[in-house]
Amino acid sequence: MADSSRPNIILILADDMGYSDIGSYGSEIRTPNLDGMADTGLRFSQMYNYARCCPSRATLLTGISPHRAGIGHMVSDLGVPGYRGFLNDECVTVAEALKLAGYRTLMSGKWHVGGEYDLQRPESWTPGDFCHPTPRQRGFDEFFGTLTGAGSYFNPLTLYRNETPETPDSPDFYYTDAIADNAVSMIDKAADGDAPFFLYTAFTSPHWPLHALEEEIARYEGRYRSGWDTLRTGRHEELRDSGILEQKWDITPRDASAPPWESVEDTDWEDLRMAAYAAQIDRMDQGIGRILAALDRHGIAGNTLVMFLSDNGGCAEFLAEDTGKPEPSKFDTPTLDGSKMQFGNVPGLRPGPGNTFMSYDLPWSNASNTPFRLYKHWVHEGGISTPFIVRWPEKIKAAAIVHEPAQLMDITATCLDAAGVAYPKEHNGVEIAPLEGESLMPIIEGREGRRQMPIFWEHEGNRAVRQGEWKLVSKFPGEWEIYNMTEDRTELMNLADGERDRVAAMSRQYAEWAERARVAQWPVRAKS
């Protein structure tokens, strides 16, 4: 049996899931396993991600800014140090640090921090070279999952088991289930060993395409015929009644690009798209339930730290994973049954099957991010706010809501602190960038816990600083805005005119951080 003095650690990441998309954060979607974690653990009301999948994963895994880790944008190589598109050798992953301290390190799911892969040219893939580091090269003893980002749930490309490529061998293959089932198998093997384990489980759910099983879609079909306005109102009320949000924080107006529900022509089809999205989350929660059940089965749940969150806010974009423009041809990959892929949000076409490729679109994304505005990609609250649930039965004795701001980079610091592991100053003979995240262990253990340093963001020129109750934010290429987050978490009243000195001081802080973090002026000029 594993050393009981050091905890096992499980980090679960959802993909493109909004702030209010699970039951314990106001949703009508059935997520009993995540809600059960919340019932006995901590729910953070102000946990922040990094607005987009690749930079979020980079900072989550390293505890430093994504630019310092080499992924200031996505996985394309822009030819400057902060934007190479893969984890560089000046960072150390949480898996590498824990492995050095004797942990068994495991990963199931989406990698997407190891360079770009042309899905149309498998012969060009070079996993393991300098520009394409794999999980096994960055500290994980065992890996099952995809090396790249979005794609089919029924026939995902760049699927590997350790260094060996795999293809689905069954018509019943569904990637969400495979991620969960492989995570369970890893727990089963690790639980019989002498070492504690770290398991990173990175689902692709509920990222587009809307690939879901028909029995799950049927569970929600008809649930959304009252529309996105009603959904936003209901979720906002639930969030306020639960104490996650303050009663005084008003919901943001419906996005100007989203039509009123009364003007929508094909409401049955819109209902189906949201039903398919809900089905993806429901199925992910079922997989999380199997992971938690494995801990119970082995009698190790008590001393296992489990954390759950999302990599960015709900997604209003479609077919623009690594660039700013839709690229349907990029995702035109084979289906298992040989049928032709149908791309696009085609009214009347039922979402779910493997030969469709659809998204739930901006109006439903606006509902996912209730009560905030904007989406994945931007650093206003809708793009960066995530549910964050922490369960650790031996440490957390009573459920609570935590209102202290925190960010993804704090998770590496927390994992190392929980395990009693020091952050290395060098790795493989290379000096490592200093850890920027702050451990959440004082909060987890019920001690006084206050953030010491500001939180910074930059993605595609969108910028922000959070310091105490103040947030400075800019939507590229716009001017700075400033909000008092104690009074106005939903960013409805820009106080920039009356807080010019504060804007100037915080913008200087941002500029100093951006220089340290290797942030380049946007747009970064790609290498020729």
Instruction: Tell me: pLDDT of 311 over 90.
Output: yes
* 240-256: average pLDDT: 97
Residue type, 170: S
Q: Based on the number of CB atoms within 10 Å of its own CB, is 62 exposed (0-12), middle (13-18) or buried (19 or more)?
A: buried
Measured distance CA(36)–CA(127) in Å, rounded: 38
| Number of Cβ within a 10 Å radius of residue 230 | 13
Sequence length of the chain is 528
Q: Where are the beta strands (DSSP E) in 261-368?
A: 304-310, 342-343, 356-357
What pLDDT, in 10s, does the model give residues 378-394? Answer: 999 999 999 999 999 99
| pLDDT level of residue 451 (50, 70, 90 thresholds) | confident
What pLDDT, in 10s, does the model give residues 221-235? Answer: 999 999 999 999 999
Cα 101 to Cα 62, 106, 197, 300, 421: the distances in Å are 16, 14, 11, 20, 7
pLDDT of 525:
82
**106 in Cβ contact with 140 (< 8 Å):** yes
Closest by CA position to 372, among listed 314, 290, 427, 322:
314
- Of the residues 54, 67, 73, 112, which is catalytic? 112
Closest by CA position to 209, among listed 116, 311, 362, 318:
318
Bridge partner list, 356: 342
**403 in Cβ contact with 48 (< 8 Å):** no
What pLDDT, in 10s, does the model give residues 392-405? Answer: 999 999 999 999 99
First to last CA, the chain: 54
pLDDT of 450:
82
Measured distance CA(24)–CA(37) in Å, rounded: 9
What pLDDT, in 10s, does the model give residues 259-284? Answer: 999 999 999 999 999 999 999 999 99
What pLDDT, in 10s, does the model give residues 425-445? Answer: 999 999 999 999 999 999 999
Q: Based on the number of CB atoms within 10 Å of its own CB, is 28 exposed (0-12), middle (13-18) or buried (19 or more)?
A: middle
Instruction: Tell me: pLDDT of 192 over 80.
Output: yes
Q: b/e per residue, 65-84, with b = 16+ CB within 10 A?
A: bbbbbbbbbbbbbbeeebbb
Closest by CA position to 482, among listed 490, 494, 474:
494
Q: Is the alpha carbon torsion for 306, 312, 313, 316 positive or negative?
A: negative
Bridge partner list, 108: 144, 201
* 41-68: average pLDDT: 98
- Over pLDDT 90: what percentage of the chain? 92
pLDDT of 3:
58
* 365-376: average pLDDT: 98
pLDDT of 526:
66
Instruction: Tell me: pLDDT of 448 over 80.
Output: no
Residue 108, SS3 per DSSP: strand
* 23-43: average pLDDT: 98
Q: b/e per residue, 384-423, with b = 16+ CB within 10 A?
A: bbbbbbbbbeebbeeebebeebbbbbbbbbbbbbbbebeb
Residue type, 187: I
What pLDDT, in 10s, does the model give residues 103-153? Answer: 999 999 999 999 999 999 999 999 999 999 999 999 999 999 999 999 999
Q: Based on the number of CB atoms within 10 Å of its own CB, is 176 exposed (0-12), middle (13-18) or buried (19 or more)?
A: buried
**351 in Cβ contact with 2 (< 8 Å):** no
- Over pLDDT 70: what percentage of the chain? 99
Instruction: Tell me: pLDDT of 2 over 70.
Output: no
Q: Does 326 sit behind a cis peptide bond, omega within 30 degrees of 0 on the bond before it?
A: no
- Of the residues 53, 54, 91, 315, which is catalytic? 53
Instruction: Tell me: pLDDT of 524 over 60.
Output: yes
Residue 60, SS3 per DSSP: helix
131 is catalytic: no
Instruction: Tell me: pLDDT of 364 over 80.
Output: yes
Measured distance CA(21)–CA(382) in Å, rounded: 12
Residue type, 135: P
**411 in Cβ contact with 307 (< 8 Å):** yes
Q: Which two tokens stand for residue 227?
A: 């529309």
Bridge partner list, 471: 466, 483
**219 in Cβ contact with 282 (< 8 Å):** yes
> In sequence order, which residues have a C-beta less than 8 Å from that of residue 189 and are 6 or more positions away?
none
53 is catalytic: yes
pLDDT of 5:
84
* 329-342: average pLDDT: 88
Measured distance CA(370)–CA(387) in Å, rounded: 12
State the DSSP H helix or E strand holding residue 296, giving kind and residue range, or none if neither. Answer: helix 267-297
Measured distance CA(371)–CA(233) in Å, rounded: 8
Homologous superfamily, domain 8-446: Alkaline Phosphatase, subunit A (3.40.720.10)
| pLDDT level of residue 1 (50, 70, 90 thresholds) | very low
Extents of the domains making up the chain: 8-446
> In sequence order, which residues have a C-beta less than 8 Å from that of residue 12 and are 6 or more positions away?
201, 202, 203, 288, 291, 306, 307, 308, 309
Q: Which two tokens stand for residue 496?
A: 């920039």
% helix, strand, coil for the chain, step of 5? 30, 15, 50
